[in-house]
Amino acid sequence: MTDFFSFASGFRWQDAVDILLNSYILFRLYVLFRGTRVVRVIMVIPVVWLLERMAVYLGLIITAWGMQGIIAAAALVIVIVFRNEITSVFQTRGLKSFFWGIPQRQVHTPVDMIVESVYELAHRRLGAIIVLPLKKAIDTIVQGGVAWRGKLSREMLLSIFWKGTPVHDGATIVQGDQVTDVAVILPLSKREDLPSYFGTRHRAAVGLAEQSDALVIVVSEERGSVTVFQDKNIRPIHDNIELGRILREHAGAVTQNGGLKRQTMELALAAMICFTSIAGIWISFAHGLETLISLDVPVEFMNRGTGMEIFSASVSKVDLQLSGSGGLIRSIRPDQVKIKLDLSHAVPGKNIIPISPESITLPPGIKFKQAMPKVLEVHVDKLDQKDVGIQVDWSGKLMEDLIVESVRVVPDRLWVHGASLILKDIETIYTEKILLDTITDTGKVSVHLVLQPALALEKDQKSRVEVMYEVRRR
């Protein structure tokens, strides 16, 4: 019970959106592909995943490895094997149907008109072959044909198959209420168990039915009989009622309340499975085994005032301790974790800036535990320049009877740049040490200046000066 409340308290609105959005996407994919073999194959993947988990649990190394391989390759295999179905779905369904609506399969097919036309053709002993494709595209299976794109009517079908017309010898493709192509050549079946009275027309119908999910109606010219071919089934039709029923089933039209109820139940079950699956995945990711991680994260400074420079920080990286489910922790990329410290209130000098949870950016589902160090000491200052004197730094021991009476440095003053607070305490820049031990007479020497690391000379300024000294005896 405590675990449940702990879980509920950590649930964010983003998590709800995450689960619902992905459940809906999964459900829409099911709606688009339902009825196709793609869905049936995809359903195998969770089963393989369960087997893989069981294999891991039982310590079956090779089995687990094999299952993982199958799951990893599944997406690619599905796309390659079912490319025709997938292409067909995306061609026949628009972008709008991906987001909304339950596509009805060819509900606009005028079944009664087709039945009436077929029996009229049979009555007149006019040979005919009518193809009603379903989901799978048949463009790559059939050959030739003449594009027709005419609205379907009884008279049109009779005209197409009337003896002597240029297009009567071939199949007619009907999609919805449109005759899309006529005089189409279908692939012939190589089956040897077909009845002997089947001619080329019947063999072509069997050939197409074998390779697609289309329904093919054949009217025999010799006997005036009607036969329907679907998958590997050959169904002689005895009356128009039977033909109408078969066509309605093929078109997917729901004619009875029971059918509508069944469809609603199917979709509701699918929606529930989608939601449960995504919620399960989310829980396993977001609330799996709590894992701790320690990361060294570089510190970024923002909102630095105009002219302000960061001269030093106590640390450049902060050790962050984060927690979350193992999956989420393992998927953290370095660029997803950031520490951004606000310097908008920083003043010249030393600033103590706490590392608060608000200054840390984390990927969703990851929690901040603690930071080491908890505060950062940042030295911020304005860049400034100052005119300072140059002084010789003598060292060593001068001979006792000598006096260095005067010294002249050229130049004797210089402009130096640096942090204003450092410059404030600096009045003099010293030369490198000049040894007195070797000096015996008046002379001249060129020496370097010794600058603090935080200071710099002007760009065109040399870091050497000339020192001229006068020595006399006591």
Partner 1 sequence: MMKSKMKTENITNCIKWWLIALVFLLAPVPPASGLVLAVHGDLQLTTAVMCESVHNYAPIHPAVVFPIQRGRVFCFTEFASISSQTRVYHKWYRDDRLITNQRLVLNPPRWSSSTSVQLRDADKGPWRVDITDEAGTPIYTLRFSITD
Q: Which is nearer to partner 1, 81 or 403 (CB)?
A: 403
Nearer to partner 1, 193 or 387 (CB): 387
Q: Which is nearer to partner 1, 143 or 428 (CB)?
A: 428
Does 426 bind partner 1 (CB under 8 A)? Our answer is yes
Q: Quote the tokens at residue 321.
A: 């301790």
Closest listed residue to residue 177, CA positions, set 106, 252, 109: 109
* Six token digits for residue 27: 């459900």
466 binds partner 1 (CB under 8 A): no
Nearer to partner 1, 160 or 471 (CB): 471
Least distance CB 322 / partner 1 (angstroms): 48
342-401 positions binding partner 1, by CB under 8 A: 389, 391-398, 400
Strands 402-410 and 367-372: unpaired
* Closest to partner 1 by CB, 206 or 471: 471
Quick one: 429 exposed, middle or buried, by C-beta within 10 A (0-12, 13-18, 19+)?
Answer: buried
Q: Per rule CB under 8 A, is residue 469 in the interface with partner 1?
A: yes
Q: In the complex with partner 1, which residue's Cβ is closer, 71 or 436?
A: 436
Among 112, 319, 427, 441, binds partner 1 (CB under 8 A): 427
Question: How many CA atoms within 13 Å lie on the side-chain side of 210?
Answer: 12
CB 416 within 8 A of CB 386: yes
Residue listed under structure tokens 């005067």: 406
Q: How far apart are CA 378 and CA 350, in angstroms?
A: 6
Q: Are 353 and 375 in contact (CB under 8 A)?
A: yes
Q: Which of residues 251-290 bind partner 1 (CB under 8 A)?
A: none
Residues near partner 1 (CB under 8 A), total? 23
**Stretch of 154-162, 270-278, 309-317, 422-430 lying at the interface with partner 1 (CB under 8 A):** 422-430
- Least separation in angstroms between residue 474's CB and partner 1 is 7
We find the least distance from the C-beta atom of residue 451 to partner 1, in angstroms, to be 14
Of 375 and 403, CB closest to partner 1: 403
List 41, 293, 407, 451, residue binding partner 1 (CB under 8 A): 407
Least CB distance to partner 1 at residue 437 (A): 9
Instruction: Assess 425 for contact with partner 1 (CB under 8 A).
Output: yes
In the bound complex, what is the minimum distance in angstroms from residue 396's beta carbon to partner 1?
6
Kindly state whether residue 420 participates in binding partner 1, applying the rule CB under 8 A. no
Q: Give the whole-angstrom CA distance, residue 78 versus residue 255.
A: 33
Radius of gyration over alpha carbons of the chain, in Å? 44
State in angstroms the smallest separation of the CB of 409 from partner 1.
9
Q: Which is nearer to partner 1, 270 or 451 (CB)?
A: 451
In the complex, least distance from residue 385 CB atom to partner 1, rounded to whole angstroms: 17
Site for partner 1 contains 474 (CB under 8 A): yes
Distances (CA, A) of 201 to 161, 204, 224: 13, 5, 13
SS3 385: strand
450 binds partner 1, rule: CB under 8 A: no
Alpha-helical segments (H) within 109-239: 111-123, 154-160, 200-211
Residue 192 or 425 with smaller CB distance to partner 1: 425
Q: Which of 265, 346, 260 is nearest to 301 (CA)?
A: 346
230 Cβ neighbours under 8 A, 6+ residues apart: 209, 214, 215, 216, 246, 250
Which is nearer to partner 1, 361 or 406 (by Cβ)? 406
Task: Name the one range near partner 1 by CB under 8 A: 211-219, 321-329, 364-372, 423-431.
Answer: 423-431
Q: Tell me whether residue 342 is exposed, middle or buried, using C-beta atoms within 10 angstroms of its C-beta: 0 to 12, 13 to 18, 19 or more.
A: middle
Among 340, 430, 456, 457, binds partner 1 (CB under 8 A): 430
Contact call for residue 403 and partner 1 (CB under 8 A): yes
Q: Residue 352 gets which letter from DSSP?
A: E
Name the residue nearer to partner 1 (CB basis): 282 or 394.
394
- Largest alpha-carbon pair distance within the chain? 147
How buried is residue 36: exposed, middle or buried, by Cβ count under 10 Å (0-12/13-18/19+)? buried
How many CA atoms, within 13 angstroms, populate the side-chain half-sphere of residue 132? 26
CB of 359 to partner 1, least distance (A): 38
List residues near partner 1 by CB under 8 A.
389, 391-398, 400, 403-407, 425-428, 430, 436, 469, 474
